[in-house]
Amino acid sequence: MVIVTGASTGIGAATARELARRGFHVLAGVRRDRDAEAIRGPGIEPLLIDITIPEHVRTLATRVDQDPQRRQLRAVVNNAGMGVNVPVEAFPMDEWRKLFEVNLFGHVGVTQAVLPALIRSKGRVINISSVGGKVAMATYGPYAATKFALEAVSDALRRELAATGVQVVVVEPGAVSTEMPSRAVAAANDLAAAMTPEQQLRYGGLVRAVNAQTVSHTTSCLSADAAAMVIAKAVTASRPRTRYTVGREAALIRLTRFMPDRTLDRALAAALRPHYRAGDRADPST
């Protein structure tokens, strides 16, 4: 048995189907009835779960402990999440807290709730991070902050559980063809519209350029099915790596290992420059 949160669409849905194809019984966490009906199929049992609601998390743990077939929990895939591209200054504090509740605290809560079952089965925790968990690009500060934190939690948890036989694996996707990038662009536009005139002057061109870059990347990125294959490997490999990368943006992670910060700053700025509109300035101070 495997739990996959955030299984309504994208990587989560593709992962649920791939694991079911491989013979696992998948508890697929979704938030709406229509998503439950869409994902339901052989080997896939949809559960209505909002990982930020403690009662839902407790219900999930009870479902695992009281499985009628007495199946062991092989893994939990912490995939639920939301994306947003917005400058640090312009992101309201209540939105910061909401983002951390979904992208970090919810995963910690799910992991805590099912960890006794995973310890009994010597199972696995698979945390879906991001290239943004290693590289914080402009306007990705809030999102990257949640993923950097998830990486840290994963490292600590891996070391804490080493003696129990439970393995902790991080999967770091780059651009993947899902609904998340388009939702992130829409959210960025809404937040940009609410910026003050001074913030618009500082960041308006930057936000538009990042959104254009995001759209351009999604036209040539990997499919959700390709990402699901990597996650399934993390679940099933006899000796899984501590981290798996997905997509061409994984090269950014390698760059951070040896490239000085200022050099990386210039490289990222150069990659973004072609996406600025005519009239927008890459450096509003000039």
Residue 103 contacts residue 51 (beta carbons within 8 Å): no
143 is catalytic: yes
What amino acid occupies position 118? L
Beta-carbon contacts of 39 under 8 Å, excluding residues fewer than 6 positions away, are 7, 8, 13, 16, 17, 28, 30, 46
Output the CA–CA distances (angstroms, integers) from residue 184 to 100, 178, 199, 218, in the order listed. 15, 11, 19, 12
Residues 72 and 156: their CA atoms lie apart, in Å, by 24
| Residue tagged active-site, from 140, 143, 203, 244 | 143
Cross-strand bridge partners of residue 171: 128, 244
H/E/C letters for each residue in 97-108?
HHHHHHHHHHHH
Name residue, tokens 């062991």: 72
Number of residues in the chain = 286
Give the active site residues. 143
